[in-house]
Amino acid sequence: MTPTLLLLAIAALGPSPLAATAGGLAHAPRVPHAVKSPRALEAAHGGQPDRATDPVGGSAFAAMVRIPAGRFTPLFGSTDGEVAVSAFRLDRHPVTVAEFAAFVEAYPAWRRGKVKRVFADEGYLRGWHEDLDPGFAGPDDARRPVTDVSWFAARAYCEARGARLPTLDEWEFAAAASEDRPDAFRDAEFNQRLLELYTRPRPQAPVVGTTFENWYGVHDLHGVVWEWVEDFTSVLLSGAGREDAAGTDRKLFCAAGSVGATDTGNYAAFLRYAFRAKLRGAYTGARMGFRCAADA
Residues binding other proteins: number (CB under 8 A): 32
Q: Residue 234 interacts with other proteins (CB under 8 A)? A: yes
Binding region for other proteins (CB under 8 A) out of 16-24, 91-99, 111-119, 260-268: 111-119
**Which C-beta is closer to other proteins: that of 111 or that of 143?**
111
**Residue 296 to residues 66, 71, 148, 174: CA-CA distances in angstroms?**
7, 16, 29, 14
DSSP output for 144-167: SBP-S--HHHHHHHHHHTT-BPPP
Measuring CA to CA, how many Å separate 98 from each of 104, 131, 199, 257, 288?
10, 13, 27, 44, 16
Q: Does 232 sit near other proteins (CB under 8 A)?
A: yes
> Is the torsion defined by CA of 62, 284, 294, 110 positive or negative?
negative
Least Cβ distance, residue 264 to other proteins (angstroms): 21
Q: Should residue 258 be labelled a site residue for other proteins when binding is judged by CB under 8 A?
A: yes
Q: Among residues 49 and 281, whose Cβ is nearest to other proteins?
A: 281
Dihedral-angle region of residue 280 (phi above 0 means left; psi in -120 to 50 means alpha; beta otherwise): beta
Q: Tell me: does residue 117 bind other proteins (CB under 8 A).
A: yes
Amino acid identity of residue 173, one-letter, is: F
Q: Establish if 244 lies at the interface with other proteins (CB under 8 A).
A: yes
Query: Are 236 and 277 spatial neighbours (Cβ–Cβ below 8 Å)?
Result: yes
247 contacts other proteins (rule: CB under 8 A): yes
Does residue 190 interact with other proteins by CB under 8 A?
A: no
Among 252, 261, 271, 274, binds other proteins (CB under 8 A): 252
Contact window for other proteins (CB under 8 A) among 37-45, 212-220, 235-243, 284-292: 235-243
Position 34 contacts other proteins (CB under 8 A): no
| Cα-based torsion angle of the residue sequence 17, 79, 70, 296 in order, rounded to the nearest 10 degrees | -160
Q: Which stretch binds other proteins (CB under 8 A): 52-60, 93-101, 181-189, 229-237?
A: 229-237
Q: Quick one: 34 or 246, whose CB is closer to other proteins?
A: 246
